[in-house]
Structures are given as C-alpha cells and as structure tokens.
Structure 1
C-alpha cells in the first residue's frame, strides 16, 4: 500500500537533484525583487545595457489607487543572462545593503574588467571583487577560476590564492595564478 506519492523532502548523498520543468511562460520559481525609491526603470535600463544576454520585460504603472503617483512606474521587469528580476519603485523606506549581493561568474579577465568598469561607474569599489553600483546594489564580479584555485587540494596553494585575493579590489587572474604557482 502506497501512503504517499510525494517525493521525500531530502535526497540521499550522491543522488542527483530532480527539477520540475518550468510552468507557464518559462516561469522561474525565485525572482530577485529590488526595492528602489524612484529609479526602478532607470536601473532596469542600466543593467540591461551592461549584460550581453539581457532584455527589458514589462513596465507596470501606478493607477488611481496608488500608492505612487498615477502613471508613474510601479514595477519594471527585466532579465540578465536568463535570470528574471523585478524592480519596484516603493519609496525611500528601504535601501540596499551588502547583506545581499549578486555574484557574477566571469569566463575571463576581459569579462571581469568590462563588468567591473560598467557596474562600478558612479558607485563604490570594494575589496575582493565586491562593488556597489550607483543605485547601491552590491555585486561580486569574480572570474570562475577563482573557486577552482581556492579549492585546490594543496592547502598552501589555496592559502596563497586567498591572500592574493584579499589584497585586490578588482580580481586579477594573472595575480591569482602567480600566487597559486608560488
């Protein structure tokens, strides 16, 4: 007798995760929702102009019920490299912090440099590949090779890579590799 046809809430180690296919119009289950004061549309266009595989979605405007001025942008949806985002003009009550950031894995130094320069323009450059863009959103711009080097089984190599990275603002692959090679 079958008591339940639902899959278990956990899976044994080594068993691949199962993913249900998207429903509807390629719907994502989780979408980052970004709260802006009044810059949702401006931010959407800024981000879409930076990422190669990006597109503008829909813009929803406030109506008679508000709470924003009638006709002003309420939400703006967009997509960056297949990841949907929604930006809301919700007012000045909330601002962004570094507690949430978007990690961008880059294929090479050219991509790191391009995204770093564009996203940090008008923002703040931080340590270890972190930056805040001109809207206050935090990003981590890192080469994919970083995790490979940090996870090397030789603890001395990974220690040297970590120490090198901690000295950087923009991550530089040649310096990471030099530290790795000792």
Structure 2
C-alpha cells in the first residue's frame, strides 16, 4: 500500500516552490527532480518531495490551473510533539505571509487557541492549527477538502464514499453542525477526517457563496502495483469521461485523482532521460494507464 500523494500543479515554479516548502518544516526534503519532454505544454519539471514526512509531487506544466481554498494543506502543531508550539506556528506563518494573502488571521478561535488560514506566494492554501487530535495520532500534514457550491453539504457522504473504495478506509473525528448556522444546515460538517491508504485527509462543508470549487491544481496521486489495482481505482472513482487523460480523472464531487503505476515514480527517479522520454510518449495518449505498455516502453521494446 502506497500513501496517497497530494499533487501540485504549477505554471513553471514546481522546483522553486518545493525548495521553499521543504524549508518550512523538519523532516522535509526533495527526493528527486526530473523532466518530461515534448508534452502539449512543452518540457515539464517533475518534483517529488516530503513535507514533515508526507510525500508530495509537483509539476511545472503551464498556467492552466490555479490553486483555490477548495483544497488546502492543514498543518497540525500538536503540543504533545516536538513540533507543536505557538512560536513554531508563528515562524511558519511569517514565512508563508511573504508574498501571500490571509484568509483567516492567525489568532485564537473557539476551536483552537492558535489558528490561521493563508495562501502562499504561489497560491497554495495552508491552515496552521495548534491542536490535540483525539484518537489515532494524526500526521503533521493533512490535506483538507472544502465542499462548496453544488457539493456543499456532501462532505460526510464523500468521506464514506472514499472509505468504501479504499481497503481499510475509515472515519476519524466527525464534527457535524448541531444547528443551522447561516446557509450551513444542521448535520453538515464543520470538520471531519478519514484515513485511506494510511493517509489522513480532512473534509468540511461550507454553503457560503465562495465562488470556487475543486479543480486539477491539487489532485491526489494513487500509485498502484498491478493493472488490477489501476482498473479498480480508476473505474470506482471516475465520474467524467471528458476528464480522463494520462491517468487523471474527476470523481462525482469534482475532486481530481491520478491513478498511476508505481513503476512510473521509479522511472522518473532513476531512469535515464531516454527511458523517461519513451515512457512519457507511451502514457500521453492514454486515458486509463496501461502498466504493461509503460513497462515495454521503459525497456525499449
């Protein structure tokens, strides 16, 4: 089982952004930087990095998608851990504030004595929170989904949907609204989280008129060891045939996923440029990934 990797789409700043992000937290590093050539968007940098132990991918592939608050990275500063003080939150906040924009000021709130929501200079959204999560330990980084627009009110339904697809998927903490609050109805999620493929993800509902929805700027990469796994996840999640390309898909809530062969990461990390080019040429026309075809391309057959 491979952890799910948040995948970040940049115009041309993937490497620069990754270098900035790994400077923010301990246990962070760039794993590799590679290049895929001759795509419809020209040559694209591919970067894999870990952030406080959470693996992520980033790509420079043109100005097609922009980050929105629909998906953010929540950073848990747990006082029971070494990385868990207000001073550490303030330090990271100030780094993100340089060129960034504040959505919710860093302050005390009913749900946390220290919390803030900010978009960094690249547009990526972060929620920094001083927290003591109940139950199972939570990682430092937890991607967070905000269900708005046509899917507002469906966060809990989505949690159960994702948990039903991934083996061992289960709910974590669930906090529904006890009563109507403005446009948000009783029973919709103030906050909830769930675990799929050993990866914690959070979800919230907001019926306010935000003007943004999920898009491809931040997708979730699922690495599969077999074609059977690829077929299963692709068929279970895909809800829009027009969005199917190179292993990408959109589910019924509009969240973007990439269902890929795990060997592709090894190709990008350890393959020669010639091998990377052959594999790239092979997967570009695909909708659902064909692992056997990629393996043949990698071996030059």
- Which bracket does the TM-score occupy, shorter chain normalised? 0.7 to 0.9
Moved more, 31-40 or 143-152: 143-152
Q: 1:58 to 1:179 in 2, by over 3 A?
A: same
Q: Deviations over 1:39-87 (max 9, x none)?
A: 1011001100000121012321223572422344333321112211111
Backbone CA RMSD of aligned residues? 3.0
Task: Give the TM-score, by structure 1 length.
Answer: 0.79
Question: 1:9-158, aligned counterparts within 5 Å?
Answer: 23=81, 25-36=136-147, 37-64=152-179, 66-67=181-182, 68-91=184-207, 93=210, 94-120=212-238, 122-124=239-241, 125-151=243-269, 153-158=271-276
Structure 1 unmatched ranges of 5 or more: 1-8
Task: Give the TM-score, by structure 2 length.
Answer: 0.50
In structure 1, what is the Cα distance between the partners aligned to 2:259 and 2:159? 19
Query: Post-superposition shift, 1:179?
Result: 1.9
Q: Is the 8 A contact 2:143 2:200 kept in 1?
A: yes
Q: Is the 8 A contact 1:150 1:161 kept in 2?
A: no
Structure 2 unmatched ranges of 5 or more: 1-25, 31-50, 54-77, 82-131
Q: Is the 8 A contact 2:155 2:188 kept in 1?
A: no
Q: 1:151 to 1:167 in 2, by over 3 A?
A: farther
Q: 1:152 to 1:86 in 2, by over 3 A?
A: closer
Larger CA Rg, structure 1 vs 2: 1
Query: Post-superposition shift, 1:159?
Result: 1.3
